[in-house]
């Protein structure tokens, strides 16, 4: 007993670590995702992320080597989550190809509404902030856009094969046009706290496809 | 002499104030404009703005009541500068209405290139950051977009009157579509450090007008 009483109490040990390292890391990623979609990277303090999941200050580096590594992990996670969302819509065989894109737009409007238009696109937020971020983020963010565009381009080609849109369109360009403008629409929906900018952009995009 | 020697030395007085209060305020606004177009509001520290124009730390509040008041003054100044830029293009009678919009796009691409695509749109940057900013910015930023849209809508109506674009178009909607997407294009040009996204968006916009 006497010996046990002299053992050092693991003071700095985060309570959540009891539930496992992976679980705490997961909570940090979830909290970081919320903060970065809402405020971006620069305005997000590591301390507030730790506080929001009751992880003691100072234990962040048990889980990530740096704030930049945390940011990079969040981009990867967001990209994977979003790729899943796009695939769910774009591979929905019960819907026509252009309906699938409209479904994605409607789904995004509902998602933004669910968070009172406080959360936008993590990749768009960090892209906008590039002036203040490490150069290492640039390629990673760009590749996410390229991935989303490729998925969208495949859906547009399906519309071409179905004869819904003209075969004269360059689907890669159309997909790039969509994603370039879409990030502006998400930005504006956040500013106006309403879904209209998303639908307004979608309307223009579909009108362009009628040619 | 003895009396003069006892007068308190104005220690905190910024050296630049010798050249006048207005001039120092002006330098702060210029430095703030550069920082906010590049990095946004959250990532910009007041200290670095002061340092960049050699104004001593602590004297900021001689010029602005708060960082928010500084931000608000910067939005107003950027809006005025930009309204001038738009008017210069959109009222250029030597050019056809749609050429004027293309001129604005080309001018923007050149401006971004001049700063190696580090600087974007101050209003877009702060719009993206709304999750981290005072609510007081929201209405001000929105009104700037409305102003730009109204100027663009007038130019599009001139194109309608000249018979260049269909009279079926709702020019207010077209102008909104342009500005919603354009901010996405500026974001992407900053990320990719090249003008292609601006021209790609412009190409889609003009293609839409052909209907």
Residues of A in contact with B118 (CB under 8 A): 131
> What is the distance in angstroms between the Cα of B31 and the nearest Cα belonging to chain A?
15
H or E stretch at B163: none
Of A118, A138, A184, the CB nearest to B185: A184
pLDDT at residue A187 in the model: 96
Instruction: Specify if B33 maps to a domain.
Output: no
Instruction: Specify if A131 maps to a domain.
Output: yes
> What is the distance in angstroms between the Cα of A206 and the nearest Cα belonging to chain B?
10
Instruction: Specify if B146 maps to a domain.
Output: yes
CA distances from A155 to A103, A104, A174, B185 (A): 12, 12, 11, 22
Q: How confident is the model at residue A12 (pLDDT cuts 50, 70, 90)?
A: low
In this structure, of A5-19, A61-75, B21-35, the range with the lowest mean pLDDT score is A5-19
Whole-angstrom Cα distance, residue A76 to residue A94? 30
Of B128, B197, B210, the CB nearest to A180: B197
* Contact call for B210 and A211, based on CB within 8 A: yes
Burial of A77 (0-12, 13-18, 19+ CB in 10 A): middle
Whole-angstrom Cα distance, residue A51 to residue B82? 41
* Average pLDDT over all residues of chain A: 91
* Average pLDDT over all residues of chain B: 91
Contacts across the A-B interface (CB distance below 8 Å): 154
pLDDT at residue A4 in the model: 40
pLDDT at A6 over 90: no
pLDDT at residue B20 in the model: 82
> What is the distance in angstroms between the Cα of A5 and the nearest Cα belonging to chain B?
48
pLDDT at A106 over 50: yes
Task: Give me the number of domains chain A comprises.
Answer: 1
pLDDT at B7 over 60: no
pLDDT at residue B86 in the model: 98
Chain B interface, mutation test: which of A191, A205, A207, most B Cβ atoms within 10 Å?
A191
Instruction: Specify if B32 maps to a domain.
Output: no
Of A174, A190, A200, the CB nearest to B176: A200
Of A40, A180, A203, the CB nearest to B184: A180
Instruction: Specify if B3 maps to a domain.
Output: no
DSSP 8-state symbol, B44? -
pLDDT at residue B211 in the model: 83
In this structure, of A141-150, B41-50, B173-182, B192-201, the range with the lowest mean pLDDT score is B41-50
* Interval A117-152: pLDDT, tens: 999 999 999 999 998 899 999 999 999 999 999 999
pLDDT at B9 over 60: no
pLDDT at residue B3 in the model: 38
Chain A residue with CA closest to B121: the answer is A128
pLDDT at residue A58 in the model: 84
Query: Which residue range(s) make up the domain with A97?
Result: 67-209
> What is the distance in angstroms between the Cα of B141 and the nearest Cα belonging to chain A?
8
Q: How confident is the model at residue A171 (pLDDT cuts 50, 70, 90)?
A: very high
> What is the distance in angstroms between the Cα of B184 and the nearest Cα belonging to chain A?
4
Q: What is the mean pLDDT of residues A16-38?
A: 87
Whole-angstrom Cα distance, residue A32 to residue A135? 20
Whole-angstrom Cα distance, residue B103 to residue B125? 23
pLDDT at B5 over 50: no
pLDDT at residue A18 in the model: 55
Instruction: Specify if B118 maps to a domain.
Output: yes
Residues of B in contact with A202 (CB under 8 A): none
* Interval B144-173: pLDDT, tens: 999 999 999 999 999 999 999 999 999 999
Instruction: Specify if B57 maps to a domain.
Output: no
Check if the beta carbon of residue B149 is closer than 8 Å to that of residue B176: yes
Tokens of B184: 């996405």
Chain A residue with CA closest to B179: the answer is A184
* Interval A39-88: pLDDT, tens: 999 999 999 999 999 999 888 999 999 999 999 999 999 999 999 999 99
- Here the ipTM equals 0.89
Domain of B181: which CATH number? Answer: 1.10.357.10
Report the residue count for chain A: 211
Q: What is the mean pLDDT of residues A87-96?
A: 97
Instruction: Specify if A89 maps to a domain.
Output: yes
* Contact call for A128 and B187, based on CB within 8 A: yes
């Amino acid at each position: 007993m006497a010996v046990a009483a002299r053992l050092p109490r693991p003071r700095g040990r985060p309570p959540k670590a009891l539930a496992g390292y992976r679980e705490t890391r997961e909570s940090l990623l979830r909290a970081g995702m919320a903060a970065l979609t809402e405020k971006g990277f620069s305005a997000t303090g590591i301390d507030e992320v730790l506080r929001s999941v009751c992880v003691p200050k100072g234990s962040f580096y048990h889980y990530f080597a740096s704030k930049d590594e945390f940011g990079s992990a969040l981009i990867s996670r967001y990209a994977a989550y979003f790729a899943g969302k796009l695939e769910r819509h774009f591979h929905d065989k019960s819907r026509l190809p252009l309906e699938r894109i409209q479904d994605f737009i409607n789904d995004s409007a509902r998602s933004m509404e669910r968070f009172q238009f406080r959360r936008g696109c993590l990749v768009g937020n960090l892209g906008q902030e590039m002036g203040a971020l490490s150069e290492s983020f640039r390629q990673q963010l760009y590749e996410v856009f390229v991935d989303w565009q490729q998925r969208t381009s495949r859906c547009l080609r399906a519309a071409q094969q179905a004869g819904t849109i003209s075969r004269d369109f360059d689907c890669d360009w159309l997909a790039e046009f969509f994603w370039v403008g879409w990030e502006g629409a998400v930005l504006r929906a956040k500013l106006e706290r309403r879904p209209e900018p998303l639908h307004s952009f979608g309307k223009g995009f579909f009108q362009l496809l009628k040619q």
